Every structure is written in C-alpha cells, then in structure tokens.
C-alpha cells in the first residue's frame, strides 16, 4: 500500500475517533487533520487550506449574517408566536412547532432556529399549561428534518455539493434535497401528532435547568428593521431558487443580502462579523482537505474496494443504498452530522465511481441518513441544547428518537431510489 494512502487512512481513523470522542472540538480536529496532511507531504499548503476560499464557505458566511438579522431583530420570535397562536391543543401545538421549525431551518441555521424558538415554545407552554418536556424533542427533531429542505439547510448538504464540484460533476439543485426532506418533515410531524406522542417523555427525568430565562426583549427594535430583515431573507432565498435564470451564484446572492443588512444598519458590522460561525467554517475547510487527500491519494478507492469486496463485485443498488444509509444513521448519532458527511462523502464518491452508480444517488443517501440524529443527546447541537432545559435523560432520546428514525428511514428508502436512481 502506498505511503500516502497509509498516512491518509491514519488521519481518517484519527478523525473518526476524535469526532466521536469530542474531547477536542470538532473544528480543531478537522484543522489538525488539514495541517497534518500538509506536514506529512500528502497535500500542498494551498490544497490543505483551499477550503477557506471555497465558494460554499462564502455562502455560509453570507447566510450567517442574513440569518442573524432575522433572529436579532426578533422577527423569528414573531413568526413563531404568530404560528403557535392557532395551537389550542397539544396535538395542534406539536404540528405548529414542528412545521414552523422545520421550514425555518430549511433556510437558516438549524441550531439558530432551535435556539430562538425554544424560549418561544417554553413561554407558550407556561401560558397554556402544556408540558414543555413533551414539546422540546419535536422542536429539535424538526430542526434536523428541516435541514433537508434546501441546499443551504445544513452544512452536510454543502459538503456533498462541494464533493461533487471537486470531482468535476454537476451539483444538486437548490431544492433537490427537499424532495426527500419535505415529505420526511410532514410524515414526522403526523407521526408525533398521532401515535408518536406516546414515545415523548411526559415528565422530566432530571431536574430541568431553572436558570433558563427565555427570549430577550425585542420591543425596542424598530419595525422597519424587521421588515428589511424579512424582505432580504425572502429576496435572498428567491434569488437562490432562480440562480440559473438570474445568472447570479448562490454565494453572491447571500452576500448581496448580507451587505444590504449591514449597509442599512439592520445589523451592525460587529454583530455581522460575530454571527459568522468560524467553528463551522473550520470544520468544513478541514473536512474538505481530508476529502481532497482521500481522492488524490486513492484512499477513497481503497475503502470503496473493500466495501465492494464485502458486498460482491456487482451489489444490488438497493443493498448498497441500505448499507450506506444505515452506516450514516449510526455514525451521525454519535458524532456531528457534518462530520459524518465529511467522512462518508469522499468514500461515497469512490464507491459510485467503482460501481458505475450515479454519485448523486450515493451522496443523497449519505446526506439524508446523516440528518437522522434523533437517538442521542449528542447527535446534534440542538439535541444537547434541550437536554438540561427539559431535564431529559439519555434513554429519553432513545425511546423518542428511534421510532422517528424508523419512520424517516422508511420514507427515505422509498423515495431515494425513485428520486435519485443509481442508474438514471
């Protein structure tokens, strides 16, 4: 085996262990890998740090600012309050919470959406005498499902997009993931509004965090700022949807929106810069370096060869789909869904190349599978966020999350072969 392959495999194993262990922040682990790949001669310095000037990173940065304005002006709270006003029963409240959270997280940060709506829901529960312990899980699970509605819904979506672009292949359309994500959100909402309610915890397993105070006061924010924040968000998303017709790249549209918000002082320059999540960007850039190394050294092909040998020289597409999907689901519940995508995307591309399958079909399975982080409190940041607020235990997530994983898998494994065939 070539020395560069051995080194890259070593860094891959290191990344898997550290992503799962999380003793070092994920972003730092990713950058250790990028730097290590350069120092060992696998990648040039330019290649190791190329992720920081990737167009997808520019898209992230612009949308962080657009999303921050939507949250900081209090517009997100108003939207949440407006929708949940119709929720007079527990079932209606679950439906309202999941649909508004899911739709918002399709275009904004999943974690940011959850962070803003958690105190909104707590306030509604206190006012209407509902159990907030029962409402927190549907909220954060919907945030994860909503990430599959659009291309910008979650960092993992963009990692798959970058992988296709690096391979010189056509990327996903803006709403390609939504063909799976929206039905999954609707079915997941119906599930928890009906038979799934029995799996939600009724009372806290531990003493909830009493220090949680809820939303800031947004009453001092001028109405014109809220209007501009809302119009810019809608306009930016619309420009992204009609990217081909306008001839304007996604990241350019994002930055036009961000610049309008800062220029009109809807969000200050300082707040705009603070809103850019460098942890996500570092994780993304470092992950791209690992993916690039796996392609250039042939490491991805070696792993793909191993998988092919296990499955047979001509595995059935459906068998491969199920294996990839289950692997993604398992990994994402013990490490970041972004990290799961970062590790599996280059392997998936190599598998598709080896077997002559459509790369989009393989990557769509990885991205969707990686979003099903429902069964543990560490599967995604939003899960962790409500762990203390609602007084959950680890087993609460297992009991409520595994049934939703099963339901989501059924929906996905029905739709994926139809919408993303392995032999288009």
CA distances (Å), origin 293, targets 24, 36, 322, 324, 347: 22, 11, 27, 21, 11
Q: Compute the C-alpha angle 19/416/340, nearest 5°.
A: 5
- Give pLDDT tens digits for 352-394: 888 889 999 999 999 999 999 998 887 787 887 788 778 888 8
Alpha carbon distance 331, 147 (integer Å): 18
State the pTM of this model: 0.75
Residue 307 in tokens: 């998988």
Residue 287 corresponds to which tokens in the numbers above?
Answer: 């992950």
Q: pLDDT tens digits for 111-145?
A: 778 877 777 787 778 777 788 889 999 999 999 99
List phi, psi (to 5°) of 150: -140, 170
Where the chain has pLDDT below 70, the residues are 1, 22, 80, 83-84, 209-216, 313, 335-336
Check residue 288 and give its pLDDT. Answer: 81
Q: What is the pLDDT of residue 179?
A: 95
* The two structure tokens encoding residue 29: 């682990």
**Residue bearing tokens 């310095």:** 45
Spacing of C-alpha 144 from chain mean position? 6
């Amino acid at each position: 085996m070539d020395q560069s392959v051995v080194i890259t495999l070593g860094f891959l194993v290191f990344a898997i262990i550290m992503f799962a262990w999380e003793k070092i922040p994920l972003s730092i682990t990713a950058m250790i890998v990028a730097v290590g790949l350069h120092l060992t001669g696998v990648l040039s310095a330019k290649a190791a740090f190329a992720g920081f000037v990737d167009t997808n990173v520019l898209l992230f940065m612009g949308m962080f600012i657009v999303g921050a304005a939507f949250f900081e002006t209090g517009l997100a709270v108003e939207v949440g309050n407006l929708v949940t006003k119709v929720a007079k029963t527990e079932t209606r409240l679950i439906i309202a919470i999941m649909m508004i959270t899911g739709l918002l997280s399709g275009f904004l940060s999943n974690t940011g959406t959850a962070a803003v709506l958690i105190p909104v829901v707590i306030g509604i529960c206190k006012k209407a005498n509902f159990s907030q312990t029962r409402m927190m899980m549907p909220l954060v699970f919907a945030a994860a499902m909503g990430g599959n509605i659009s291309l910008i819904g979650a960092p993992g979506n963009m990692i798959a997009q970058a992988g296709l672009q690096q391979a010189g292949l056509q990327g996903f359309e803006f709403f390609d993931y939504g063909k799976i994500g929206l039905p999954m959100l609707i079915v997941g909402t119906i599930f928890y509004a009906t038979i799934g309610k029995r799996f939600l915890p009724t009372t806290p397993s531990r003493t909830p965090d009493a220090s949680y105070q809820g939303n800031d006061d947004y009453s001092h924010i001028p109405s014109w700022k809220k209007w501009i924040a809302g119009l810019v968000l809608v306009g930016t998303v619309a420009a992204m949807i009609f990217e081909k017709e306008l001839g304007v790249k996604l990241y350019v549209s994002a930055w036009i929106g961000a610049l309008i918000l800062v220029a009109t002082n809807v969000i200050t320059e300082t707040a705009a810069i603070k809103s850019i999540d460098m942890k996500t960007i570092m994780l993304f850039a470092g992950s791209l370096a690992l993916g690039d190394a796996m392609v250039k050294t042939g490491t991805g092909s070696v792993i793909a060869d191993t998988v092919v040998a296990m499955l047979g020289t001509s595995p059935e597409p459906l068998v491969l789909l199920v294996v990839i999907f289950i692997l993604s689901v398992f990994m994402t519940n013990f490490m970041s869904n972004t990290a799961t995508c970062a590790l599996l995307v280059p392997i998936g591309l190599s598998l598709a190349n080896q077997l002559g399958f459509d790369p989009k079909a393989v990557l769509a399975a990885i991205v969707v599978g990686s979003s099903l982080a429902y069964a543990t409190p560490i599967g995604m940041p939003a899960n962790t966020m409500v762990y203390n607020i609602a007084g959950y235990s680890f087993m609460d997530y297992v009991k409520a999350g595994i049934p939703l994983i099963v339901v989501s898998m059924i929906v996905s494994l029905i739709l994926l072969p139809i919408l993303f065939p392995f032999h288009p």
